[in-house]
Amino acid sequence: MPSSHDWINKPLGVVEAMFAQSNSNPEWEAKVLEYFKGQLKEKESHSWVPSLNDVPLHYLKPNSLVKFRCLVQDMFDPEFYMGVYETVDPSTKVLRCGKYKDVTECGVDLNSRNTVTAERQTFYCVPIPGESPWAKEISFLSAARVVPSTSYVPSRQKRSYEEDDDMDTQPQKTKWSLTELQSSSPHGNGDSKRQETEAPSSQTTAPSDCSSHLDLNFPLPGERGPACLVKVYEGLDSFKLNDTLEIYGILSVNPVLTVIVYPYRDPSLLLLNPTESMETPEEQRAHDPPASLVPRLHMLYARPLQHNNPLLPSAPTEDQSAFVSSFLVEMASVRAELLAYLTHVLLGDGLAAEYLLLHLISNVYTRRDVLPLGKFTLNLSGCPLNSYTERLYQIVQQLVPCSYRLSMSLHTMNSMRLVPKKDYVANRLVSGALQLARNTSLFLDETQLEQGQLDSSGVRNITALGNLISWQKVDYDFSYHQMEFPCNINVLVTSEGRSLLPSDCQVPLQPQVTPPNMEEYLTTIHMAQFTSQINKFRVYLSLARTLDYSISDEVTKAVEDDFVDMRKDDPQSVTAEDLHRMLVVARLLSLSLGQTTLSRDGWMRAKHIDMLRRSRTEQQKSLNGNEP
């Protein structure tokens, strides 16, 4: 049984033992890491480790090994700790190891010559923002299948009559009804089913009112889940802000870590002892929140996540390549089914569905100087009003593992914080809605916009969105200067007319059907899909993105010739920008079919659909009679 594993239950014991054997030979540290890495490599072993994402904190054993799927939201300054210290009791004077620990229970000889000071850094990590309910659900269920090393047995009354375990093994008609879709609020993150697992952390030492005004700094409003202070010991430079990681580490929730935040300070104290106010109360609150709310995790091993789709093997192992090659076979058929599904969703508009599909697998694959390549921002114009876009988002949300719908109403644009900002008082990065993990689908709903006045923060927000779309970067506000952080976010803009934001490609929606009752129509479409089918779509979308892609010299030549010919015929018709876009379309089109090289056919097809799209926009233009 997995529960017999000491390395999960008492990882500190393992560390201590290795330290004791080492005779202060510094190599022991590497050995510890090797050991845990080795353990986790074993088949399935990583699924035995309970996950902070799925198991409520108070069910987890302190000082046990846990994993956490998260986004690095902020990086604090390095801190120093006693890597090796000597106990104070002279009779049993021994050297102890301070690594992977926050506190020690024994007295410490502060003047010992043997003390070794070491450095570690703290990352503030939050669950991946905008993670879709289905992704959480599946990860939750797989966690439930393996009995974790805690006393916690997930009980889910509401769905207990359904088959929990074989849900992802047996094809079964989806039970997600539209009412359920509705219950996941516009923010899409309040998954009602999980509420009970997020039991109020009442057993904690912190007074409950303290938790309410403790801002956990989630990028998106309405997010829930544990935030975590991750102590990082090795490879500090390999981690970047906004990385998505799966972290394996030792959980530390010692109540001593709860620094009392004094409501006020006696001014005379400052006079006598100015260093005591080294940290402002705000800073303490941000950096040392109660461990019961923000547990500490001492990192032993971290795996960067390429995606957070639980249906796909996440590590690039043989498993994955086998999985990929087996899936490649059915790629084309899945694509056709998905296309049909999206066509229905987009009211019978096949071209728009094609573009939506391409958009969903787009990915910034490289950057050349300032140019991000591979981004494919889609502007679906001509969307019917009356909550169609909301439904559309819910369907997109069902397909991608991470998404967020930003309703661009005047109020939200003026009041919401999109760009993260450094708060120098609390010394932390206050998050904003654009601090998102890679490949998150950002759904901008411009149909919600109304006439009115944008104030200065509104203008800033719009500018930030424009920059995000054009350059795939967000300028974080550091008061004295801005700092660019590159990102990789799929932006989909739905609007009535042409969007006020830039986009790589605009597709006016041309509904072929006009269902009398839109909600009913969409519900029916949604209900008609089997879970297994939806899961296939999910896998398909995540997989197509990760494929490699290349282009042969002949095709390169052909593309160049083609471009010149097109220019010859009608110089105004094709610009360099169009070529850029068509190359992206060709790439995505090939990848969507599971082809990893561009063929002549692929190029012609890309040209063809781009022409169709352009004729549609021209048409629209002449209809409206105004300039672009």
Partner 1 sequence: MESAAETSTAGVSVKDDLSEKCQKLFLEFLEEFQDTNGEILYQPDAEELIRPERNTLTVNFTNIEHFNQQLATTIQEEYYRVYPFLCRAVRYFARDHGNMPVAKEFYVAFSDFPSRQKIRELSTARIGSLLRISGQVVRTHPVHPELVSGTFLCLECQSVMKDVEQQFKYTLPNICKNPVCANRRHFMLDPNKSRFVDFQKVRIQETQAELPRGSIPRSVEVILRAEAVEMAQAGDRCDFTGTLIVVPDVAALAVSGTRAETSSRVTGGRQGFDADGIQGLKALGVRDLSYRLAFLACYVAPTNPQFGGKDLRQEDQTAESVKNQMTVQEWEKVFEMSQDKNLYHNLCTSLFPTIHGNNEIKRGILLMLFGGVGKTTMEGTSLRGDINVCIVGDPSTSKSQFLKHVEDFAPRAVYTSGKASSAAGLTAAVVKDEESHEFVIEAGALMLADNGVCCIDEFDKMDLKDQVAIHEAMEQQTISITKAGVKATLNARTSILAAANPIDGRYNRSKSLKQNVNMSAPIMSRFDLFFILIDECNEVTDYAIARRIVDLHFRNMESVERVYATDEIQRYILFARQFKPKITAEAKEFVVDQYKRLRQRDSSGSTKSAWRITVRQLESMLRLSEGMARLYCSDELTYLKVHPKHVKEAFRLLNKSVIRVDSPDINFDQEQDNGEMNDHSDMIGTNRNHAEEAMDTEHGAGRPEKTSTAKPALKMTFAEYKRVSNLIVFHMQKMEDIDESSLKMSELINWYLKEMESEIESEAELVAKKNLIEKVLHRLIHYDHIIIELTKTGLKKVGDEGEEPVIEEDPFLVVNPNYILED
Tell which positions 545-574 bind partner 1, by CB under 8 A.
550-551, 556, 559-560, 563-564, 567-568, 571-572
Strand order in the sheet with 482-486: 428-430, 421-423, 473-477, 482-486
Contact string (CB under 8 A) for partner 1, positions 201-240, x = contact: ----xxx-----------------------------x--x
CB of 119 to partner 1, least distance (A): 6
* Of residues 176-205, those binding partner 1 (CB under 8 A): 205
Instruction: Locate the DSSP E strands across 226-295.
Output: 228-232, 244-252
Name which position in 576, 622, 625, 626 contacts partner 1 (CB under 8 A): 576
CB of 151 to partner 1, least distance (A): 25
* Of residues 45-104, those binding partner 1 (CB under 8 A): 74-75, 77-82, 85, 88, 98, 101-104
Comparison of 59 and 365: residue with beta carbon closer to partner 1: 365
* Of residues 397-436, those binding partner 1 (CB under 8 A): 422, 424-425, 427, 429
278 binds partner 1 (CB under 8 A): yes
Helix (H, G, I), strand (E, B) or coil at 476: strand
CB of 240 to partner 1, least distance (A): 4
* Of residues 356-395, those binding partner 1 (CB under 8 A): 368-371, 373
* Of residues 114-173, those binding partner 1 (CB under 8 A): 115, 117-119
Name the DSSP letter for residue 58. Answer: G
Distance of CA 76 to the CA centre of its chain: 20
Inter-residue contact 216 to 125 (CB < 8 Å): no
455 binds partner 1 (CB under 8 A): no
CB of 104 to partner 1, least distance (A): 6
471 binds partner 1 (CB under 8 A): yes
How many chain residues are in contact with partner 1, going by CB under 8 A?
99
Residue recorded with tokens 């005779």: 23
* Of residues 1-40, those binding partner 1 (CB under 8 A): none
Comparison of 67 and 460: residue with beta carbon closer to partner 1: 460
Inter-residue contact 84 to 116 (CB < 8 Å): yes
Q: CA 391, CA 378: separation in Å to the nearest integer? A: 17
Q: CA 376, CA 367: separation in Å to the nearest integer? A: 14
584 binds partner 1 (CB under 8 A): yes
Helix (H, G, I), strand (E, B) or coil at 405: strand
CB of 622 to partner 1, least distance (A): 16
262 binds partner 1 (CB under 8 A): yes
Q: CA 196, CA 148: separation in Å to the nearest integer? A: 18
CB under 8 Å, gap of 24 or more: what pairs does 179-187 form? 181/394, 181/526, 184/133, 184/394, 184/397, 185/222, 186/390, 186/405, 186/407, 187/220, 187/221, 187/222, 187/223, 187/404, 187/405
Q: Which stretch binds partner 1 (CB under 8 A): 259-267, 398-406, 491-499, 607-615?
A: 259-267
CB of 325 to partner 1, least distance (A): 24
CB of 234 to partner 1, least distance (A): 15
Q: Which of 476, 366, 375, 363 is nearest to 419 (CA)?
A: 476
Q: Which stretch binds partner 1 (CB under 8 A): 212-220, 306-314, 481-489, 491-499?
A: 481-489
Helix (H) or strand (E) holding 212: helix 208-212
Distance of CA 166 to the CA centre of its chain: 27
Q: Which stretch binds partner 1 (CB under 8 A): 108-116, 394-402, 403-411, 442-450?
A: 108-116
Q: Which of 121, 78, 122, 74 is nearest to 218 (CA)?
A: 74
CB of 291 to partner 1, least distance (A): 11
H helix runs in 300-403, sequence order: 318-345, 350-360, 388-399
Comparison of 25 and 117: residue with beta carbon closer to partner 1: 117
Comparison of 429 and 609: residue with beta carbon closer to partner 1: 429
Inter-residue contact 251 to 49 (CB < 8 Å): no
